[in-house]
Amino acid sequence: MIKIEEPLKTDVLILGSGIAGLRCALEVARCGLDVIIATKDFPRESNTLYAQGGIAAAVDPDDSPKNHFEDTITAGGGICNEKAVRALVQDGPKRIKELISYGANFDRISGELHLTKEGAHRLNRILHSGDYTGKEIERVLMLKMVSITNIKPLPFMMGIKLWIEDDRCVGAFLLDVEAESILPIKCRAVMLATGGAGRVFQESTNPSIATGDGMVIALEAGLKMANLEFVQFHPTALHLKDAPRFLLSESMRGEGAYLRNLNGERFMAKYDDRMELASRDIVARAIVKELKVTKAPHVFLDLRHLDSDFIRKRFPTIYATCLSYGLDITKEMIPVHPAAHYIMGGVKTDTYGRTSLKGVYAAGEVACTGVHGANRLASNSLLEGLVFGYRAGRAIVKDYLPLSKKSPVVLDTSFNEVEIKIVNELRRQIATLMWQACGIVRNGSELENLFLELLNIEAIFGKEPFERRRRETWNMIQLGKAIAQCAIYRTESRGAHFREDFPFKDDLRWKRETIFVKKGKEYNFIKEEKDKLL
């Protein structure tokens, strides 16, 4: 049994310190509320930190929120929540100006913001800081945060469960990763900003922390979830033996890089008139088809025709990383392969981050605002975290729920301590199974088998564990099962979800979100009108 500590009290508990969590914290703290930001690792470690390409917003005089809206809707495959998209594109420029006022250094030419273009955008509207935009935004928000006394960081504290009383969340339970004890925190609101879950897949651009923890917290508490089958596979991850699947930003193609197959041929014209700048789902599937035809392990990204000084200056991190593996991208083609990158689905929210459980809010990749629909438009993710992190903060202040006066519920913290060597092997198995059966191309029978395999792995644990590595692996199982169930449920192909046994879009039956609630072992799917939020 693990020791349970005496509860702490605060106004707002934020799980996660990426762009959404930090922007929410700044907003609620500005209004006088006390905030705890809990992270299972160092506060700076988040998906935001690794975001390369940029942040999209209609800040150019020749652009408009209307254009940005239309591009987002087109990329989303017909199931974007239009109300949420309007909030994103209309609020976006304001939030960008705010970031600049905080000191964000976006690249400029002759004093003017340098805007680049990425797949499925009609205009250049991507602001960037070299190829480390997320790192720059994280730096600025962290710098802003450290000067605010009513924000308290709590590192190495992993959120594991919501504290619920009378159909309302009144706090959460945190696993103290270092002390291996459980800390209950009583609060007016819990904000889920834990990021994504790319590590559920064998091939992933995400850091090791991205195991879907916040999604599983919501899933197991019976909150409404949406669109988990829509997993975006980034077309271009570095594909070298013994090298991590390092992201090669879409902005490389935006600046003119070509995709070539094993024979040196540019192949994207066969699949889409936009060629390398087609939406990510189209490019990823095109690469998979080329690999099948040529029987090659990867295709190539070619920048050799671009100015070498421009490449080094525009993509300093990518240039240095590739060079560390003996690859000079100014002279050599880069071997690339698709990898899991972003989950469009998550905890269902309204346009102010409210979830289906009173007292719980969510923003960023853990949430499903409906902005991305079936396929995220490039560089909309950082903007979504910024806009809806702010909006969730406004909602928390407005709602100002009372603090509970009760003691926390008693948790059964006994668990089967599976040997860590076995846990690590199971973790690899889960990611391999998910990649093979629930990757870029899917079919019903393999998805059914995947679900059964995950049940078998779950049985080895027996019950939920209370130790970080084991808990992350448990979370991968729970989220993997939910993704598989959603992929089985949607018997069509749309956006990032492609079923070879149902290869066509079916608007009559499926032009809607996939919404479900987990109760016990059952996944109860709910049919709602497309634009109905909760």
Q: Is 100 helix (H, G, I), strand (E, B) or coil?
A: helix
Residue 27 carries which side chain, given as an amino acid letter? E
Task: Confirm if 375 and 496 have CB atoms less than 8 A apart.
Answer: yes
CA–CA separation, 511 vs 505, rounded Å? Answer: 9
- In the numeric block, which tokens belong to residue 482? 């939910």
Neighbours of 358 (CB within 10 A): 15
CA–CA separation, 190 vs 164, rounded Å? Answer: 11
Residues linked to residue 189 through DSSP beta bridges, in sequence order: 12
CA–CA separation, 434 vs 448, rounded Å? Answer: 12
- In the numeric block, which tokens belong to residue 32? 């006088």
- Listed in sequence order, the residues at least 6 apart from 247 whose beta carbon sits closer than 8 Å to its beta carbon are 50, 52, 205, 234, 236, 237, 238, 339, 341
- Annotated active-site residue in 23, 139, 199, 280: 280
280 is catalytic: yes
Residues linked to residue 247 through DSSP beta bridges, in sequence order: 237
Phi, psi of 304, deg, nearest 5: -65, -25
Q: Which of 13, 11, 27 lies closest to 385 in space, CA to CA?
A: 27
Element (H, E) at 165: strand 157-165
CA–CA separation, 522 vs 185, rounded Å? Answer: 29
HEC sequence for 466-488: CCHHHHHHHHHHHHHHHHHHHHH
Task: Name the packing angle between helices 380-399 and 82-102 (round to 10°).
Answer: 90
Task: Confirm if 126 and 184 have CB atoms less than 8 A apart.
Answer: no
500 burial class (0-12, 13-18, 19+ CB within 10 angstroms)? exposed
Neighbours of 9 (CB within 10 A): 15
405 burial class (0-12, 13-18, 19+ CB within 10 angstroms)? exposed
CA–CA separation, 214 vs 346, rounded Å? Answer: 9
Task: Confirm if 203 and 335 have CB atoms less than 8 A apart.
Answer: no
Q: Which of 81, 20, 111, 120 lies closest to 381 in space, CA to CA?
A: 20
Which amino acids are annotated catalytic?
280
